[in-house]
Structure 1
């Protein structure tokens, strides 16, 4: 299953660093459970590649900055998807 590999990648990142900002990863995963209609934007996929590139280049500072940007953007995507989903549910309830 594709999600399993992604979960392992993210779990490895969370375990492999002592950076307290990694706690955001847990919130992101929990938020995605409520956003079944959300899709991963092409830009987020590109950002994943950018993070991996920095890791391959053994540049932890760049990898951290890129990951923080990716997480911030992904959290914004989740919040937008949840808001859109809530608005659609509200519209359906009014019908």
Structure 2
């Protein structure tokens, strides 16, 4: 619950900052109990996560072109074959119970 609340606060701050020019980041963050540093740290981590995701998706598309019927576990092993470590990305595999 706390994580959802935290995420929604950042979304509200982003929306208010985009629609109303007279709100400063300082005032918006202070109203939700965050610092400017926490705000910019959050933005940096979101951007980094997006870039990592794009790198992995591009690699997955390349692997799928070569091996079209590769399953999830083999795909994960192919990614972990030095590619992720070479880019400094740590990623786990998510198993789903059916």
Calculate the TM-score normalised by the size of structure 2: 0.38
Q: Which has the higher helix share?
A: 1
Query: Greater relative contact order: 1 or 2 (C-alpha under 8 angstroms, separation 6 or more)?
Result: 1
- Provide the TM-score with structure 1 as the length reference: 0.39
Q: Which has the larger radius of gyration?
A: 2
